Every structure is written in structure tokens, then in C-alpha cells.
Structure 1
Amino acid sequence: MKNILICLFTMASVVMSAQEKAQLQSQIKHSIDEIRDFASIPNNASDHANINRNLTWLTKKFTERGFNTSILPTTGESLFFATLPIVEGKSTILFYMHFDGQPVDASKWTQKNPYEVILKSPDADGFKNESFEDLNKNFNEEWRLFGRSTSDDKGPIVMFLNAFDLLKKNNIELPFNVKIILDSEEEKGSKPLPKAVKEYRELLEADFLIINDGPVHSSGKPTIIYGCRGITTMSLTTYGPIKPQHSGHFGNYAPNPALQLSQLLASMKNNDGKVIINGYYDGIAIDEETMNILKNVPDEATIINKNLQIHAPEKVGTFYQESLQYPSLNIRGLSSGWTGEEARTIIPEIATAELDIRLVPETDGARLKSLIKKHIETQGYFITVKEPTTEERLKYNRVIKITETDVTDAFRTDLNNMYGNFILSNLEKEFKDDVVQIRLMGGTVPIAPFINELKIPAFIIPMVNPDNNQHSPDENLKISQIGYGIRTFYSLLSTPLN
């Protein structure tokens, strides 16, 4: 399958002049310098001092480009907001990105400091280190920047800034008002965001929202995503003897909480992976037109299965995109007793399962959690929200503690929305290729507060390479994607809305 990003400038020669290519390459080099500088500031959302250092960097860079900037206090870490002077009669685009990143465990990286960006080139053994000075004589778009948040999500912020530089150099008058909001706690779930959007509603008012986060489709083609799943979580703990007991003395006598929990979890799904809790999939219907859109996404099951090293997928939907249209019920963690070299001949005292529930627009997270709890009760469990008392342990045959987190809602914009059509047409014209249209992506971006409060449509335009290792060691950004992002922002911000 063709990958348009294998050689950005070869492709660009068809649609760009030599001067334009040279200009773009110069801007990419400048972007690399800024990404290195920006990424050098640690950005764990739990590190207040460094979050403030990131805010200082952003204020400087956006102010240099002529933006009016504000630091917006929240109940947690502050948000960053920037806007160009508002011109009456122009439509307004609000861009959302985030500058916080996942925590790092430097011992798992192949570089000493994950916040010091390293340049690498692909070779037979994976990647080898290169010198940044070599880019001046050998500008290779297949080379990559390795470092935390190069792709998720500082890279796209820098692409935006450098696209704006090009617009100014070329004296392009923007046909839009432009606002940008940058989140400081996205990787922690953006808990302060719903209240903050309400508080700063007038400041954030716009006609439509563009989210620049996540990777383009695995085909490498330009991608537009119309929605994402929401999320909520539950923690389930079952109880056996008050302390771990010798399995010889009390095996066959003391109830084993690990077995109880395993049986309970197994009762929630059938062998095909479908949730069999009554009402879990209610309200979801996929018509023929929607099914055709889902099938047009160029996924290849054989490649997906090979990458996952699985024989066959579960049967929630008949193919990958269809599976994402349903809420999930995932065991994200399971623990009891000890394993491996620390294994002991005991009956454990507790067993815990951590669940995450991915939501779709047709489903309500609170309702699904209620259905799960009702199902647990039908399995004979007494439910508590705190550690059970001695009296409760003696009174009930099966005791389970359930704790929950808040709900982040899903969202989905109609595929026929006029702003979506504008973005789609823009990408098609700029890259002279089919655009992958994804109805609903599997992950979660905390955008529902904007949609619910501002009453505007939202679209995700990802910028980075699919194999960027976001959230993981050796996160990286391919140089060709920097050019892709600059061109995308430039095209969007220079094209009038018909």
C-alpha cells in the first residue's frame, strides 16, 4: 500500500516549486531546533515547577509570532491560551493540543535522557545515532527525533508555530480568526478541563474545533477523524481469608478470592469477547451508509494481526473499524498473591481487577457502570465502596469492593458537516491523495467539554507517524511528518472557507 510520507519532497515536487520546497525545508530545520528546545523541558503534569517552565516557553514563542497570550488558572495546572486579534465577519477556528507528557522511566529508553532529543536514522538493527549537524549536508526525511513528547504532543505545537512563520513570510492574510488552547493535564485525564471550559467560555468561543493529537492512519495517508471514544474506569476487589493462609492447611476450605474474581470476570463476556451483560450494547445501530464509510478505511486485518501476533480478533464487530463503534469492557490489570520466583503456597487474602470502559456516543458511562454493578449483584456479591468490616465479611458469602472514576464522554461529529468537508477538501488538494476518514477512533481525547459547552463541531487532524511509540520508551517523530504538519496547518489557515 502506498505511503505518501515515505518521500515527502519527492511527492512535493509535483505540487511545489523549488523555491517552496527550499522554504519548507528551511522551516522544518527551524522546527527541529524548536522541538529540541521545547522537549528539553520536562513536562510530567505532576511536576508543577516544570509545567510553569513550559508555560513560559509557550508564552515567549507565541508572543514572538504576534499572538496575544494568557495563562488560564484552573483547579489544577493552568491552561495556555493564545489568539490573534479578532476580525469581525471571519469564522473562528479553535485549535486544541496539549503540552504535558507521559512520565518517563529513563532505564527503559535507549538514550540517557529522554528529554534530550536524539537524532537517529533507520538501519538493519533498528536505528543508529546521527549528528544534527549532518542535516545541513544530508537532509534525510526518514530520520527521526527521539525524545519524550516529540510526537505527543509538543511536535504538533511547534509545527503550528512554524506554519504560521511561513504564512507571515509569504504575506498571507488569514481568512480565519485563530485561537489555540493548550492543555497541561491531558495525560492525567484533563480533570480540570470541564469546569475551565465553562469558566472561560466567552474566551474560547469559535465556529469549529480542530484537535491535533495522535498519529495518522497506519497507511501514512492524510487522516481526518470525526470522533473518539470516551472512558471511565472501575476497580474490583474480592476477599478471601483476612490474611494469606497456607494452601495445604486451608486449601478446599478457605474461599480463594482470585478464583472468585476470575469467575466473575468470565461471566461478563462470552468466548467471542462480546459483553453479555444485559443492555450493554443498547442504542447502537450501524446503517449501510455508515458501514461503507467504515469499510473504506484502508486497514489490513492480516497486518494488524501480525503486528499484534494474534491468530484471530474478538468478534465485537466483523472488522477493526466496526469493533470501535461499540463500548468496550477491558481488564487492564489483574493481581492476587505472588507469581514467578516469589510465588508462595498460599490462599491470597484479596484479588483485584482494574477495568477500563471505552464509551461511544450512544452509551452513557454511568449507565454502563450501573449495569456492571447490577450484574455483579446477580452473581451473589455484596457490594461495598470501602474496606469491608468484620461483620460484613462474616455475614456475606461473597464480598466485593468497587471504586469508580469520573466519566470522560465520547464525541462524534457528523461526516457531512460543512467544516469537516472543508478540512477533507483541503487535505485532498494539498496532498493529492485519498484522505482516510475515521468515524470514531479507539482512544480518548478530552474534547467533550468543548462540544457540550461551546456547541461546536470537532475534528481530529493527527500529524505524527503511526509508529511513534507515544506513551512508551523511545517516543519519536519522523522528520517527514514535521513537513506534513507544517503543510497541513499552512493549507488550512490560508484557504478561505467556501
Structure 2
Amino acid sequence: MKLWPLCLLFTAFIGVAQPPVDALIDQNLKKTLIEHKAFVSIPNLPSNPALMLENIAFVEERYKALDFTTSLLETSTLPILLVEKEYNPNYKTVLFYVHIDGQAVNPATWDQEDPFTPVLKVKNSSGDYKAISWDHLDTKIDNDWRIFGRAAADDKAPIMMFITALQLLKEQQKEPTFNIKVIFDPEEEYNSTALLSTLDTYKSRYAADYFVVMDGPAHDSNKPTLTFGCRGIATAAITTYGARLPQHSGHYGNYAPNPVFRLANLLTTMKDDDGKVLIENYYDGITITPETAQVLSSVPFDATDFNKKLGVHTAEKVGNSYQEALQFPSLNVRQIGTSWTGEGLKTVVPEYAIANLDIRLVPETDGDAQLEKIKKHITKQGYHLIDRAPTEEERLAYPKIATFTGKTSVNAFRTDPDDAFGKKMRKALSQSFGEEPITIRMMGGTVPIVPVIKALDVPTVILPLVNMDNNQHNPNENIRIGNIRQGIKVCLALLETAF
């Protein structure tokens, strides 16, 4: 008889035992997907402030239900939503960043009636995605189903993953092991004007021990990924000149200098046939140590398959692999034009030719310094370099004239993957998934919030969660359901990590 209460206690314990994390996520996945559908259904273009405020209210409501303090911080344009919760004054604080806006849409280019009406799709035997009823969520949910809609991946999916993870912790009567702040940027797709305007005023509100940027796609294997830096960007334009006005190519060909050939010859002095920049000191300060090489080589990469996807025979040889190439500053000609911009062709020697450049930066290369190296190189090629159109006197005084303009938009950042913060993040994901996450030292793109990262001056990691083939910024943007499932698990792993 005395054993009976113990049996009851044991039975009760079994009854309340927590299911494994995967089962827990599956039990709540339909709810998350329905919430995600409702969220994506609210258009999120900053050109419509009223709808942007609806997006903000949608998120704010869910964080209030999680007992977070919410604030709308006034900016030069749209307000910043900041949510925060202190679980323990002795805990470290992690600041998370997401953006709540989306890219503009052209509905005519989408394979659905309205980009802001989410559509659930499955790939058919022909490799095309076809719509299926949302009622399919009542059956077993397939990882390879996708939700199509603007901002479905970038960046509303990570927002919903994180909210779901917090909700699941609360339902289990658990708490994160660090204090949390989350910034919701209303204009990331438009250079984060609102957020950057608040740095001086609200820097103390954003203060934290660590910073996690939840944006961008994971590695194309869809394995958990941590990215420890991104390249910066500077832009420039080089203009070369011929005669004062466009000239008839019959009357003046072989006499009036052609600025296109001058520009072409100048550009070819800047890079060799292997794609390496020839400008003096362009790669100064960059060393691929054995430790760095090990991090880079750990990222899965098949050059043959990669080149096939790009449709190229041979890659440039700046680095020994794709990842290594990203560790060096680039020099890209993004557009070339002449003085004739109308329809059709004219038989003229152009008045001028212009090359628009972008320079991707790494932490070892400051943008302004790289621009100065380019200017010095142009001067060495015999050009009189100016920052405006030439005067009549200059046209007659110098055999070769070029106009150069440039500016640094944002410099690069990088956190050491072996920093204590990075190590703990990697360990948390390794324990949750049974294998090391993919560690990317530096991604090729640029995020506009690098000035925020620089201002906070704390270890920063980019946490990319969506599928690489999500058509980000393009028609038919989508999120793979398997990435939502995995992203919730990633967030849960991190929320239970003591930083």
C-alpha cells in the first residue's frame, strides 16, 4: 500500500515529461505557419507608413504576450520597435537584429496573383512549384513545401522562428539564460535610414554584451550556419573624354579620340587575366593563415558544381576557393555607358565613356584608402585626374583627362570565430544538431547596419536561417518549411545557452 503513492508520483512524472525538441516543434509548426501566413499578408513597403505600422503592431502584440517591454523609438522616418526583457540582472545581454520591411514588387512578374497573399506550393515532377491548399497543413507537413510571398523569407521567417522559440520556452516554463533585446529595422532594404539616424540618441538603449544579426540565407546545404563577418562597399565612377561633343564617325573616325577605347585600356591595367587586381598595394594587410585556411576549407564546396550553376568555365584566381576569394577586396565594373543613351545606335565617336565601379571591402582594407589607391593608379597611367567635367582650357592642356568620383558607403566587419561568443554559439548548435555548424568567416554581401555594429563595438555574429534559393529581392520569394523547422530549433538552442 505504501508503494501506491510512489506509483502515482511516477505516473504523473511520465505524464508531464517534456517531448524531444523536434517533436515539440512539430506539435506547434502548423500554428507557426498560420501566424507566418498572417504576417506575410501585411504589405511591408516603407512607402506605406500605415501598413508598416500594422507590421510593427503585429510583432509588438506577440512580444507583449511574452511579457516583453516594447518601445517605439522616434526616428527621422519610421519608428524603430525595440523589445526587451531582463530575466536576471546578472545575466549577459544579447541584442538581436531583424528587419521588418521588404523589397518593392512588380506583381506581373510573380507566379501568383498578389505577392502579399502567401501561397503554399509543392514542387511537381517537372520541377515547377504548384499551389496547394493550406488545408494540407492538417496532414504531415513536408520540409520541402514552400511558402511564396514578398518577405516570406527576408526577413519575416526569422522573426517568426524567434517568436515561436520564445513561446515554446514559455510553455515549458523555461526561460532564456541571458537578457534579450530585439531591434526591428523598418528600412533595411532602403539603407536603414531610420535606424542609423538613431545611433546618437538611442545608443544606450541598444547597449548589449553581444549582437546577433538575423538576416540572410544559410549555406546552400541548408545546414545550420554561423557567419562571422561581411564585406563592406565603396563605389566609384571613372569618366574618360573624347571631343567636346559626339562626332560623326565617318568624318571624324581616326581623328577624334574615342573615349571608350581609352576607358577600356585604362580598365585593363587594373586587373590581369586571372582577375587579380594589379593596383599597387590593393591587397595589403591580408594574410590567409593556416588557422584561417582551415575555417575556410570547412565550408562544403564543389567547384565543378558551383561553376556549372554560374555557367562559367573557370573562376577568377584571387583565392583558391570561393570562400578564400571573399577574404580579399574586389574591384568590379558594374556598368559602362557613353554619351548616347537613347534608343538604337548612332554612327558617332562618343563625347565620353563612363565606368561605374563597386569595391567590396574586407576589414583589412578601408574604403577611402582603396579609392585613393585607384586614383593613384589612374594618375600613373598618364591621366590628369579631376573630380568634375573638364574645362575648355584643360581639354587643350592635357592629352588624357579622367574624372573620378567615389565614396565609401560602409566598411567591413568581422568577429573572430574563436571568440568566446562564437565558440559558445557553435557549441550550442553542435550539441543540438549532433554536428558542427557551417562556419563562414565572411560573407560576400554587405549589410547596411555595419555602422551599428561599429558603434556598439561588441562581438557580432550573423545568424542566417532561410534557404539560399529563396529568390531574395526577386519575384517569387519563398521560404522552405524545413528551414522554418530548423530555424526554430536553432533559436531554441541559442536561447538555452549561457553566454
Provide the TM-score with structure 2 as the length reference: 0.90
Counterpart among 210, 213, 216 of residue 214 in structure 1: 216
- The corresponding residue for 1:24 is 25
CA distance in 2, matches of 1:241, 1:77: 48
Counterpart among 464, 471, 495 of residue 462 in structure 1: 464
CA distance in 1, matches of 2:108, 2:238: 31
> Which deviates the most, 66-75 or 383-392?
383-392
Q: For 2:467, what is the secondary structure of its paired residue? A: coil
- The corresponding residue for 1:54 is 55
Change (3 A) 1:377 1:483: same
> Which deviates the most, 242-251 or 149-158?
242-251
CA distance in 2, matches of 1:57, 1:390: 61
Q: Residue by residue, what CA displacement relative to the aligned partner does 1:350-369 show, whole Å, maximum 9, x if unpaired?
A: 32222111111111110001
CA distance in 1, matches of 2:164, 2:258: 60
The answer as to 2:139 corresponding to 1:137 is yes
Q: What are the residue-to-residue correspondences of 1:69-468 with 2, within 5 Å?
A: 69-85=70-86, 87-123=88-124, 124-191=126-193, 193-336=195-338, 342-468=344-470
Q: Which has the larger radius of gyration?
A: 2
Q: Residue by residue, what CA displacement relative to the aligned partner does 1:303-346 show, whole Å, maximum 9, x if unpaired?
A: 11111011111010111111111111111222236699823322
CA distance in 2, matches of 1:192, 1:365: 23
Shift of 1:476: 0.9
Q: Residue by residue, what CA displacement relative to the aligned partner does 1:150-170 show, whole Å, maximum 9, x if unpaired?
A: 111111011111111111111
> What code does the residue aligned with 2:446 have?
T
Change (3 A) 1:391 1:143: same
> Which deviates the most, 399-408 or 17-26?
17-26
Shift of 1:92: 0.7
Change (3 A) 1:265 1:104: farther
CA distance in 2, matches of 1:322, 1:192: 34
CA distance in 1, matches of 2:237, 2:108: 29
CA distance in 1, matches of 2:332, 2:492: 40
Q: Residue by residue, what CA displacement relative to the aligned partner does 1:165-200 show, whole Å, maximum 9, x if unpaired?
A: 111111112211000112222223335545523321
Q: Percent identity?
A: 44
> What code does the residue aligned with 1:38 have?
F
Matched residue pairs, number? 482
The answer as to 2:28 corresponding to 1:66 is no
CA distance in 2, matches of 1:339, 1:84: 56
Q: Residue by residue, what CA displacement relative to the aligned partner does 1:245-266 show, whole Å, maximum 9, x if unpaired?
A: 3222221122222222222221
> What code does the residue aligned with 2:367 have?
G
Change (3 A) 1:396 1:55: farther
CA distance in 2, matches of 1:339, 1:126: 38
CA distance in 2, matches of 1:352, 1:253: 21
Provide the TM-score with structure 1 as the length reference: 0.90
Shift of 1:286: 1.5
> What code does the residue aligned with 2:91 have?
K
> Which deviates the most, 326-335 or 383-392?
383-392
> Which deviates the most, 274-283 or 381-390?
381-390
CA distance in 1, matches of 2:342, 2:26: 52
> What code does the residue aligned with 1:377 have?
T
Q: Does the aligned pair in 2 maintain the 1:162–1:486 contact within 8 Å? A: yes
User: Which consecutive unaligned segments of at least 5 residues does structure 2 have?
Assistant: 1-16
CA distance in 1, matches of 2:406, 2:48: 25
CA distance in 2, matches of 1:96, 1:356: 26
CA distance in 2, matches of 1:322, 1:276: 18
Q: Residue by residue, what CA displacement relative to the aligned partner does 1:92-139 show, whole Å, maximum 9, x if unpaired?
A: 111011122222233322223222211111122321111112221242
Cα-Cα RMSD: 2.4
Q: Residue by residue, what CA displacement relative to the aligned partner does 1:68-107 show, whole Å, maximum 9, x if unpaired?
A: 1222233444322111146310111110111222222333
Q: Does the aligned pair in 1 maintain the 2:120–2:147 contact within 8 Å? A: yes
> Which deviates the most, 167-176 or 75-84?
75-84
Change (3 A) 1:335 1:105: farther
> Which deviates the most, 97-106 or 426-435?
97-106
> Which deviates the most, 135-144 or 100-109?
100-109
Q: For 1:200, what is the secondary structure of its paired residue? A: helix
Change (3 A) 1:306 1:248: same
Q: Does the aligned pair in 2 maintain the 1:198–1:453 contact within 8 Å? A: no
Change (3 A) 1:322 1:483: same
CA distance in 1, matches of 2:244, 2:293: 52
